[in-house]
Structure 1
């Protein structure tokens, strides 16, 4: 382990950075943090209506199959880049090296906003979908109709503060929790799938998995989940792809924890693509179980946003098993947001140490006692909570109830995947030219074809998040595309230091030694 740590530190020094964070994560831990953020028992449940209520069983099952394939291609492309540049900056650092300082800065803001939306949306869904509606309401039969928005705010504050504390007191604690989550997600998923089939109220009809119907429209058979009427079944299917995009995302966490992972050049790309692969496969079987064990596709679709709850309530599972599963779902969703905050804080730390954020000196501070970016962690907590308050804006725009937070979830998927596309596409053009040195994880002759597939696929799939009820995401995306270049030209290009390259790396070696002298290994 000491040998790999020395090599990791040497690689980091060659990239111009000091080893400030504590390198305590194993290969499994790196996998587990991305697997925990993806958490198919989070988005795979909460966003199920996005696909099922657009085109039925085929939309959910085939949509997961198609969308998951593109996510895997993206993870492979990102993993190859991460193997060459294993730093906490992740997308920001890679885009800077491969495409230039502006594109790195541009990708950083989309990545940061997407990560904040991850934490905010997961914690809100943790309360609304899993704690209040599933555990208390659908499983324990408790009347939650008197619960107000203040109950939600109080719950989210407690969740965020405790997630902040776990992150504050060291990556060792966070790693133990996310490692547990990795095993727990797998175990719960397998038990859930077996239970759904074993206690199915109907005989299995596999034709459901390849049957498509256009269920869109505010008064359509899909319960108004997709409020506009899609011009064709294919268009409706396309809208529903946001389901898998929201669920299988956040795997850049493996990159953001590069500087805390042993043998990072090998374990980071492996953690990235394997977390996506296993989520894709297990998620596909889980989605099939949802569709196949639903008493009636038509009644499930008519339930609108309650389509999952219709299936859950109809299952003949014993009450004790439903309670155990629901409690497990609450736990893994909590850890999903915890891992999201870890990723967010590391990204903020890395961006700040290169002068990319206001109060960069403060946000790049690392505690000498806990070896964590404490100010970045708590800034992430505050910003994530503020993000959950965007529901107020949603009400002003005419959105009601959980729709508001589906918009939040959609924004998370769109912004993260845009930030993923930038270094992947940049790598496609830079490979063999300005990018000639790769890490141990090398896609070889498949590198460019995979990059092309993932880059174009991401840009296309991102547009699925621009249609009603997610129009605010479109406006925000266009706003950022316009405003960020204006800010850059207006002066950011002169003040932003960016990632160290060339002579700057050599000049920083003395400073690196001074920084590392503050920490006890």
Structure 2
């Protein structure tokens, strides 16, 4: 499909071609592959799975949950093929449903994208902290305030790259893919050949662990019904953000096909690569006591199984991968902010929907990064003894809940439309019914689990309760949902009509 044909299809959907259409199909795939980033999520949220389930939450949990996520991806690929717009999920919901569906989908998606940007960049700052401490021989202390400072610096760098290097972003996405592939291969090779011994198959595929504090640390019924599912946050968080393929579809050649293909393929290849990487972690996790002592922090594996120089190499590979991931997150988040704003849904929408002379939504980039920094402020505080603040996992939960609930609405609406839905060139055919139902049920279950407390200290009224242990995801998501519901009821329902047509009559007749 030529650029003119892409622009014509966009005009049929109601929009002028304002963003520069310079991305290839590979670049479209690359942004979602980079945001999923097995060098980010597999490293930063490993502890969540280790403490809540242990090896089986990873060795079995990863492939099982990945399969469900791939099904969600198939459902969304069909939608992006039919509606290749920067608004992505929000546009689909408004098109297939009513303005209220677009309203809630847009806000949930925007919340999720800002939270995933915050969590990725905070994870990058955490690992950069470690690298600096190792390279300086401990002169860099790596305190929580220092981590937050690095987090703000990383956010600022990502904003600047997105503002001033539009064409470079596409190139860096491609570089990011190969960094993730080569980096993962190098890390796996190091963990296979460098350690003097490895764990057994029985440990990797049958070992359990319960450091959550629930169920007295045993593997009884509470473990299987509550603790273990909390460990699945590792997979559900790592393999997310793949809606980026839709958000940059207005900048992609042949988007009706390439964006759909890029979306599901980014999930598929990340699932395979991530599983291999995580299995390498588990086989190298021979010092279980130290890993438990550090709260399941993956760095304990590298520090105990590898020489100091090799451990530093692994930390550095992950840090650079996370930097690429955060850069891609800012790109996706800013495009969603721009698209939602041009339809008048965000306060100050005229400001956020502007593009500069390079056709880049500069104001949307800055605004999203500022909000990402603000929602991560609680990470300045952590319970004693924890390497990673509970606030980090709370932001992770906000990202997962916001994004997957945003995915749920258009998938449900497509299911409801049935044969009235007009598919694009990439379609599920008659299999859409079974796949959409599976996707909807999985998202509902996941969203319920990830608003739950991560430890007894985070349960109000329990002995030892502390605010630094609270999973504030339900508070953050709940407050925002209440506010946007009130806003809809009192005001927006009178003027918000969904996507606005920005294409003029001449463009429409081309």
Normalising by structure 1, report the TM-score: 0.88
In the alignment, what sits opposite 2:417? 430
* 2:290 is aligned with 1:293: no
In the alignment, what sits opposite 2:463? none
CA distance in 1, matches of 2:363, 2:165: 13
CA distance in 1, matches of 2:94, 2:259: 19
Cα shift at 1:11: 0.6
In the alignment, what sits opposite 1:473? 473
In the alignment, what sits opposite 2:428? 443
CA distance in 1, matches of 2:185, 2:196: 19
Given the superposition, is the C-alpha separation of residues 466 and 269 from structure 1 closer, same or farther in structure 2, using an over 3 Å criterion? same
In the alignment, what sits opposite 2:391? 404
In the alignment, what sits opposite 2:358? 370
SS at match of 2:360: coil
- The Cα offsets for residues 158-215 of structure 1, whole Å up to 9 and x where unpaired, read as 2122211111124311111121111100100011112211123324511223314351
* 2:151 is aligned with 1:156: yes
In the alignment, what sits opposite 1:208? 203
Range that drifts further, 61-70 or 477-486: 477-486
CA distance in 1, matches of 2:297, 2:156: 32
* 2:301 is aligned with 1:305: no
Cα shift at 1:216: 3.8
2:442 to 457, 464, 467: 457
Range that drifts further, 84-93 or 232-241: 232-241
* 2:218 is aligned with 1:218: no
In the alignment, what sits opposite 1:387? 375
- The Cα offsets for residues 497-517 of structure 1, whole Å up to 9 and x where unpaired, read as 4214xxxx5x94337589x9x
Given the superposition, is the C-alpha separation of residues 466 and 301 from structure 1 closer, same or farther in structure 2, using an over 3 Å criterion? farther
CA distance in 1, matches of 2:414, 2:100: 15
SS at match of 1:431: helix
Given the superposition, is the C-alpha separation of residues 485 and 98 from structure 1 closer, same or farther in structure 2, using an over 3 Å criterion? same
- The Cα offsets for residues 306-359 of structure 1, whole Å up to 9 and x where unpaired, read as 44122111224x554443332222211111111101001100110011111111
* 2:488 is aligned with 1:488: yes
In the alignment, what sits opposite 1:254? 245
SS at match of 1:305: coil
CA distance in 1, matches of 2:445, 2:183: 33
Given the superposition, is the C-alpha separation of residues 310 and 84 from structure 1 closer, same or farther in structure 2, using an over 3 Å criterion? same
Unaligned runs of 5+ in 1: 517-521
- The Cα offsets for residues 16-45 of structure 1, whole Å up to 9 and x where unpaired, read as 000000011111100111111110110111
After superposition, residues 108-119 of structure 1 pair within 5 angstroms as 108-119=106-117
In the alignment, what sits opposite 1:187? 182
Normalising by structure 2, report the TM-score: 0.90
Given the superposition, is the C-alpha separation of residues 42 and 343 from structure 1 closer, same or farther in structure 2, using an over 3 Å criterion? same
Given the superposition, is the C-alpha separation of residues 215 and 395 from structure 1 closer, same or farther in structure 2, using an over 3 Å criterion? closer
Cα shift at 1:246: 1.1
* 2:315 is aligned with 1:326: yes
Count the aligned residue pairs: 494
CA distance in 1, matches of 2:142, 2:285: 29
CA distance in 2, matches of 1:7, 1:97: 21
In the alignment, what sits opposite 2:462? none
SS at match of 2:5: helix
In the alignment, what sits opposite 1:275? 266
SS at match of 2:425: coil
1:421–1:454 CA contact under 8 A, matched in 2: yes
* 2:129 is aligned with 1:132: yes
Given the superposition, is the C-alpha separation of residues 321 and 150 from structure 1 closer, same or farther in structure 2, using an over 3 Å criterion? closer
Cα shift at 1:220: 8.4
2:256–2:424 CA contact under 8 A, matched in 1: yes
* 2:272 is aligned with 1:263: no
2:199–2:282 CA contact under 8 A, matched in 1: no
1:201–1:293 CA contact under 8 A, matched in 2: no
CA distance in 1, matches of 2:160, 2:432: 40
CA distance in 2, matches of 1:229, 1:356: 48
CA distance in 1, matches of 2:440, 2:54: 28
Which runs of structure 1 show a deviation greater than 6 angstroms over 4 or more consecutive aligned residues?
219-222
- The Cα offsets for residues 249-288 of structure 1, whole Å up to 9 and x where unpaired, read as 1111111001000000011011111111111001111111
Cα shift at 1:486: 2.5
2:19–2:251 CA contact under 8 A, matched in 1: yes
Cα shift at 1:103: 1.0
CA distance in 2, matches of 1:189, 1:214: 26
Cα shift at 1:302: 2.1
Could you say what the CA RMSD is over the residues aligned between the two structures, in angstroms? 2.7
Given the superposition, is the C-alpha separation of residues 219 and 144 from structure 1 closer, same or farther in structure 2, using an over 3 Å criterion? farther
In the alignment, what sits opposite 2:459? none
SS at match of 2:210: coil
